[in-house]
C-alpha cells in the first residue's frame, strides 16, 4: 500500500513537472534550501539523507532537461566551473579591518576601561569565539549570493565566488523571512565571517597529503585559506570547509540595532552562526566567558585562538570609531600560546607504505597543551630547510589544530656552533636502495618493491581499523612475523595458524632468560580476528591494498562503480576516470596497480585463501558470458521501474562486457533513456543512435542478449 502511494506521489510529481517544469524546479529549490538550512545551520535535519538526495536528483534531472532554467543560485550549482589562472581582485565595499589584540587579562581590562570611559559606564558587549580561519566577505544581491571575496589587504581581496559556492553551509539564497529586514532587499548586502576547516578534516587532509608526497599545511588556518584559493572548485568542494558568519560590511543595510541583533538575523537568513555567543552586561561576565572558552578550547571541533569582545550597539560602535587598522569598539583577547621550547636531538627518516620518506623530529619530551610531545613530523626536506631546523637546535614546539605536534622553528641564538644543515639521505634507511624525487613532488621516495619498511607499513595498513580491521595485529607482532619470514605480503595473513602464532618469539626474554612467546590466548584472538577480516566489504579490502591515491572515500567510489576486483581490473583507465569523483591521477594509479604482476599475484592469493574481494550484489565478471563486448551504452534519466541507480545498471552492463560512458558520441551504440531523460536523449536522436527504454534494458540484463542496432532517422 505504502509503495503504491509512493508511486502515485511520484507520478503526480512527474506530471506536475511535465506540465510546469519551472514551477516544479522552483518548488524543489525551496525545499532543498529549507532542508540544507535545517541540516547545516540548525543541525536539526527533518528528512533522511536519502530523501534529500532524491530531491536533488529530481532537480538535477529537470535542470538537465531544461538547461534554460539553470540558475547559478540553484543548489545543484555548488560545484561550479573552472576559474581562471588568477583570482580577480575585488574592492571591498567597506574596509575589512583587523582587530586589536589583548595579550592578557590586564590588556582586556584596559580596553573595558576605555569602553566605560567613552560612555561613562559599562555598556552591553557581545562575546564571540575567535575562529582561527580565513576572513570571507559574501555579497548577496536580491537575496542571491553573487560574490565571495577574501580579505586580502583589507581594501582589495580576491574573488573566490566559485569556490565558496561549494561550501555547503553557505546559503546560495537568503531565507525569505530575513529579506524583509533588509533596508533594501534588492540592493547588495555584504556579510562577513570566517571560513575554517574542522580539526579532524585538517588532520585527515595532512595525512593524505603526506601519503601522496604533497606538502602538508602548517595549521587549519592555512589549510582553509589554501583550500579557498584552489583553481578547481571541485577540489575546494572536497575539502570540508565550514563557515561562521558574524558581521555586516555596512550596518545601515539592515534593520538591526546592534551586533546581538545582527547575529540573530544572520541565523534567520540561513547562515551558520556560532552558538557560543553571549551578550554580557558586566566585566565579570566577559571574564567568565573568556575563562570558559579557554577551558573548552581543546574540546571544540575547530580551532579558536581567542575571544572577540564587541560593543553591541551600532550607535555606540560608531561613537567609538576606528584606528587606521582596527575598530576601537572591539578587541581580540588572545589565548596564551600553547608553545614550548625543547631540544631537537635527531632527525630520523620514516618510510611510509607508498615509499615516501618523511623526516621526523626526535625531541626531548616536553608537555604541550596537556600532552607529552617527543616526536613531530617535519613533513619533507623543503620544510626542514624552510624552517631551518638543525640537530642540536633548541626548537619551538606547538600543537597545530590543537592535536598534531609541530616544530615551528629554531631559537637561533641558542644554536650550537657548526650545526650542519640537514639533508635527506640518498639511500632508503630501510632497504638501502637509492631514493628518488619525482618532478613536481616535494617528497623523496624509495621505489624498491622489496623495501621491508614499506612492506611493514603495507601489512599494518591492511590490518588497520578502516581497512580489514584485524583486531590486535599491532606493529610489534607484525614486525616479528616479518622478521621471522612468515609475513611478506598481505595474503600471508591468511596462512597463519594458532599454534604457530602462539609460539612466535617476541624477541624479548623473561626473568629466567627464556624467550617470551606470543602465547595461546593472544594467538586464539588473532586467528579469530583474521577469520573475521575475510568478509569485510570490497571497499575496505580495496582501501587495504594501499593503492597510491586511494583513500577510504576513493575506495568506496570505486567499489560502488565496480563492485568486484574482477570488474575493477577489467575497467580501462578511461572507464575509471569517468567515475564521478575519480580524477585521471587516481584512475592511472589504480589501473597500473592492478596490472602490476606482483600485485595481481597477491590479489590472486588473497582470493584463493578465501578473502572476499567483491560485494554481495556483484556478479564476478568471469561468470557471465561477455555478450555485450564491443558495445558502448550511455544511461540517462531515472530507472523507475527497477529502482536501479544508473551506477548499478552500468555495473550490470559492464559485467557482460559492455562499456558505459557518461556522454553521447558517434561511438555510442545505445542510449538507455529512463524517466525524465535529459539532453543526452536529444543528442542520441540527433546523432541517429538507437534509444532503448527501461524495459529493453531489463530484457538485456535478464537474458544477456545484445540488442539489434536500429538505425533511427536523423532528425
Q: Does 393 bind ligand AMP (CB under 6 A)?
A: no
Smaller CB distance to ligand AMP: residue 29 or 130? Answer: 130
Q: Which three cell numbers stand for residue 350?
A: 620514516
The alpha carbon of residue 37 and the mean position of all alpha carbons in its chain are separated, in whole angstroms, by 20
Closest CA to 181 of 53, 74, 311, 268: 268
Closest CA to 473 of 483, 486, 464, 485: 464
Smaller CB distance to ligand AMP: residue 131 or 582? Answer: 131
Could you tell me which stretch among 125-133, 312-320, 510-518, 688-696 binds ligand AMP (CB under 6 A)?
125-133
Q: Which three cell numbers stand for residue 104?
A: 592578557
Smaller CB distance to ligand AMP: residue 52 or 329? Answer: 329
Nearest-approach distance from CB 114 to ligand AMP, in angstroms: 18
Could you tell me which stretch among 130-138, 352-360, 375-383, 571-579 binds ligand AMP (CB under 6 A)?
130-138
Nearest-approach distance from CB 140 to ligand AMP, in angstroms: 19
Q: Which three cell numbers stand for residue 644?
A: 536501479
Q: Which residues, numbered 585-604, are part of the site for ligand AMP (CB under 6 A)?
A: none
Smaller CB distance to ligand AMP: residue 33 or 261? Answer: 261
Closest CA to 45 of 34, 57, 61, 30: 34
Smaller CB distance to ligand AMP: residue 96 or 491? Answer: 96
Nearest-approach distance from CB 148 to ligand AMP, in angstroms: 14
The DSSP string of 315-352 is HHHHHH-B-SSSBTTEEEEEPPP-EEEEEEEEEEEEE-
Q: Tell me which of 108, 115, 253, 332 binds ligand AMP, using CB under 6 A.
A: 332
Distances in whole angstroms, Cα of residue 678 to Cα of each of 60, 106, 409, 681 = 10, 66, 57, 6
Nearest-approach distance from CB 106 to ligand AMP, in angstroms: 19
Strands (DSSP E) contained in 86-182 are: 89-91, 101-102, 125-131, 134-141, 144-150, 156-158
Q: Which residues does residue 633 pair with via DSSP β-bridges, in sequence order?
A: 660, 670
Could you tell me which stretch among 60-68, 123-131, 438-446, 501-509 binds ligand AMP (CB under 6 A)?
123-131
The span from the CA of 51 to the CA of 547, in Å, is 34
Q: Which three cell numbers stand for residue 637?
A: 534519466
Q: Which residues contact 643 (CB under 8 A, 6 or more apart)?
A: none
User: Which residue in this structure is represented by grid cell 615509499?
Assistant: 355
Q: Which residue is nearest to ligand AMP (CB)?
A: 135
Q: Which residues, numbered 306-325, are part of the site for ligand AMP (CB under 6 A)?
A: 308
Q: Which three cell numbers stand for residue 268?
A: 534567520
Smaller CB distance to ligand AMP: residue 245 or 526? Answer: 245
Q: Does 194 bind ligand AMP (CB under 6 A)?
A: yes
Q: Does 246 bind ligand AMP (CB under 6 A)?
A: yes
Dmax (CA) for the chain in angstroms is: 92
Nearest-approach distance from CB 108 to ligand AMP, in angstroms: 15
**Interface size with ligand AMP, residues (CB under 6 A):** 11
Nearest-approach distance from CB 128 to ligand AMP, in angstroms: 4
Q: Tell me which of 29, 92, 130, 239 binds ligand AMP, using CB under 6 A.
A: 130
Smaller CB distance to ligand AMP: residue 154 or 662? Answer: 154
In 49-189, which ranges are continuous DSSP H helix?
Answer: 49-65, 105-119, 161-164, 176-179
Helix (H) or strand (E) holding 186: none
Q: Which residues, numbered 132-171, are part of the site for ligand AMP (CB under 6 A)?
A: 135, 151
Q: Does 98 bind ligand AMP (CB under 6 A)?
A: yes
Nearest-approach distance from CB 96 to ligand AMP, in angstroms: 6
Nearest-approach distance from CB 159 to ligand AMP, in angstroms: 18
Closest CA to 424 of 360, 344, 489: 360
- Tell me the catalytic residues: 130
The span from the CA of 72 to the CA of 89, in Å, is 21
The span from the CA of 297 to the CA of 242, in Å, is 18
Whether the Cβ atoms of residue 163 and residue 100 lie closer than 8 Å to each other: no
Helix (H) or strand (E) holding 651: helix 646-655
The span from the CA of 366 to the CA of 591, in Å, is 46
Q: Does 381 bind ligand AMP (CB under 6 A)?
A: no
Could you tell me which stretch among 128-136, 217-225, 375-383, 468-476 binds ligand AMP (CB under 6 A)?
128-136
Q: Tell me which of 99, 138, 481, 611 binds ligand AMP, using CB under 6 A.
A: 99
Smaller CB distance to ligand AMP: residue 303 or 393? Answer: 303
Nearest-approach distance from CB 131 to ligand AMP, in angstroms: 4
Nearest-approach distance from CB 95 to ligand AMP, in angstroms: 11
Q: Does 249 bind ligand AMP (CB under 6 A)?
A: no
Could you tell me which stretch among 124-132, 173-181, 573-581, 592-600 binds ligand AMP (CB under 6 A)?
124-132
Q: Which residues contact 409 (CB under 8 A, 6 or more apart)?
A: 387, 388, 389, 395, 396
**Start-to-end C-alpha separation, the chain:** 43
Q: Which residues, numbered 10-49, are part of the site for ligand AMP (CB under 6 A)?
A: none
Q: Which three cell numbers stand for residue 237?
A: 568542494
Q: Does 128 bind ligand AMP (CB under 6 A)?
A: yes
Distances in whole angstroms, Cα of residue 496 to Cα of each of 12, 147, 209, 492, 551 = 60, 60, 34, 7, 27
Write out the residues near ligand AMP by the rule CB under 6 A.
Answer: 98-99, 128, 130-131, 135, 151, 194, 246, 308, 332
Amino acid at each position: 500500500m505504502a509503495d503504491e502511494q509512493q508511486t502515485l506521489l511520484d507520478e503526480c510529481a512527474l506530471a506536475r513537472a511535465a506540465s510546469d517544469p519551472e514551477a516544479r524546479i522552483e518548488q524543489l529549490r525551496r525545499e532543498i534550501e529549507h532542508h540544507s538550512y535545517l541540516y547545516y545551520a540548525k543541525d536539526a535535519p527533518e528528512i533522511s539523507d536519502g530523501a534529500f538526495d532524491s530531491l536533488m536528483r529530481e532537480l538535477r534531472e529537470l535542470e538537465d532537461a531544461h538547461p534554460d532554467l539553470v540558475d547559478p543560485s540553484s543548489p545543484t550549482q555548488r560545484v561550479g566551473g573552472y576559474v581562471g589562472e588568477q583570482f580577480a581582485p575585488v574592492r571591498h565595499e567597506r574596509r575589512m579591518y583587523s582587530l586589536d589584540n589583548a595579550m592578557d587579562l590586564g590588556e582586556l581590562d584596559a580596553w573595558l576601561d576605555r569602553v566605560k570611559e567613552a560612555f561613562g559606564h559599562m555598556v552591553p558587549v557581545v562575546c564571540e569565539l575567535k575562529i582561527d580561519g580565513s576572513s570571507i566577505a559574501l555579497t548577496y544581491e536580491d537575496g542571491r549570493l553573487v560574490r565571495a571575496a577574501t580579505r586580502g589587504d583589507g581594501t582589495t581581496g580576491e574573488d573566490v565566488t566559485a569556490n565558496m559556492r561549494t561550501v555547503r553551509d553557505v546559503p546560495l539564497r537568503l531565507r525569505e523571512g530575513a529579506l524583509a529586514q533588509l533596508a533594501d532587499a534588492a540592493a547588495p548586502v555584504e556579510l562577513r565571517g570566517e571560513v575554517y576547516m574542522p580539526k579532524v578534516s585538517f588532520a585527515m587532509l595532512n595525512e593524505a597529503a603526506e601519503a601522496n608526497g604533497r606538502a602538508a599545511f602548517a595549521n587549519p588556518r592555512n589549510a582553509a585559506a589554501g583550500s579557498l584559493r584552489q583553481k578547481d572548485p571541485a577540489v575546494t568542494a572536497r575539502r570540508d570547509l565550514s563557515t561562521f558568519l558574524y558581521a555586516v560590511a555596512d550596518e545601515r543595510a539592515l534593520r538591526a540595532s546592534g551586533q546581538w541583533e545582527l547575529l540573530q538575523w544572520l541565523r534567520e537568513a540561513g547562515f551558520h552562526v556560532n552558538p557560543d555567543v553571549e551578550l554580557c552586561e558586566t566585566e565579570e561576565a566577559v571574564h567568565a566567558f573568556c575563562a570558559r572558552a579557554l577551558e573548552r578550547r581543546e574540546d571544540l571541533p575547530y580551532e579558536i585562538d581567542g575571544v572577540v569582545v564587541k560593543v553591541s550597539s551600532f550607535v555606540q560602535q560608531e561613537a567609538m570609531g576606528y584606528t587606521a587598522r582596527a575598530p576601537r569598539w572591539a578587541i581580540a583577547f588572545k589565548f596564551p600560546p600553547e608553545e614550548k621550547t625543547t631540544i631537537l636531538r635527531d632527525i630520523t627518516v620514516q618510510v611510509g607504505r607508498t615509499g615516501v620518506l618523511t623526516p621526523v623530529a626526535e625531541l626531548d619530551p616536553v608537555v604541550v597543551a596537556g600532552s607529552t610531545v617527543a616526536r613531530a613530523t617535519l613533513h619533507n626536506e623543503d620544510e626542514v630547510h624552510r624552517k631551518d631546523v638543525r640537530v642540536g637546535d633548541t626548537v619551538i614546539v606547538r600543537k597545530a589544530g590543537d592535536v598534531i605536534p609541530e616544530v615551528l622553528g629554531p631559537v637561533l641564538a641558542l644554536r650550537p656552533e657548526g650545526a650542519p644543515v640537514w639533508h635527506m639521505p640518498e639511500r632508503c634507511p630501510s632497504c638501502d636502495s637509492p631514493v628518488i624525487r619525482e618532478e613536481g613532488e616535494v617528497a623523496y621516495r624509495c621505489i624498491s618493491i622489496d623495501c621491508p619498511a614499506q612492506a611493514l607499513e603495507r601489512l599494518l595498513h591492511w590490518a588497520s581499523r578502516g581497512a580489514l580491521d584485524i583486531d590486535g595485529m599491532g606493529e610489534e607482532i607484525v614486525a616479528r612475523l616479518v622478521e621471522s619470514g612468515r609475513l611478506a605480503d598481505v595474503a600471508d595473513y591468511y596462512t597463519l595458524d594458532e599454534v604457530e602464532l602462539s609460539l612466535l618469539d617476541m624477541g624479548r626474554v623473561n626473568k629466567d632468560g627464556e624467550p617470551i612467546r606470543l602465547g595461546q590466548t593472544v594467538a586464539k584472538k588473532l586467528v579469530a580476528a583474521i577469520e573475521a577480516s575475510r568478509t569485510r566489504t570490497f571497499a575496505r579490502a580495496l582501501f587495504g591494498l594501499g593503492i597510491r591515491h586511494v583513500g577510504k572515500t576513493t575506495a568506496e567510489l570505486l567499489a560502488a562503480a565496480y563492485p568486484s576486483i574482477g570488474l575493477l581490473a577489467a575497467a580501462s583507465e578511461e572507464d575509471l576516470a569517468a567515475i564521478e569523483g575519480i580524477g585521471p591521477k587516481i584512475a592511472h594509479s589504480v589501473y597500473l596497480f592492478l596490472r602490476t604482476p606482483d600485485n595481481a599475484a597477491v590479489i590472486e592469493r588473497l582470493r584463493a585463501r578465501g578473502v572476499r574481494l567483491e560485494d554481495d550484489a556483484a556478479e564476478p565478471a568471469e561468470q557471465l558470458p561477455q555478450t555485450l563486448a564491443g558495445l558502448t551504452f550511455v544511461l540517462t534519466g531515472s530507472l523507475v521501474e527497477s529502482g536501479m541507480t544508473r551506477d548499478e545498471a552500468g555495473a550490470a552492463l559492464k559485467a557482460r562486457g559492455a562499456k558505459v560512458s557518461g556522454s553521447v558520441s558517434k561511438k555510442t551504440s545505445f542510449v538507455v533513456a529512463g524517466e525524465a531523460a535529459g539532453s543526452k536523449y536529444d543528442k542520441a536522436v540527433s546523432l541517429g543512435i538507437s534509444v532503448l527504454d527501461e524495459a529493453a534494458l531489463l530484457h538485456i540484463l535478464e537474458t544477456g542478449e545484445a540488442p539489434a542496432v536500429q538505425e533511427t532517422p536523423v532528425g
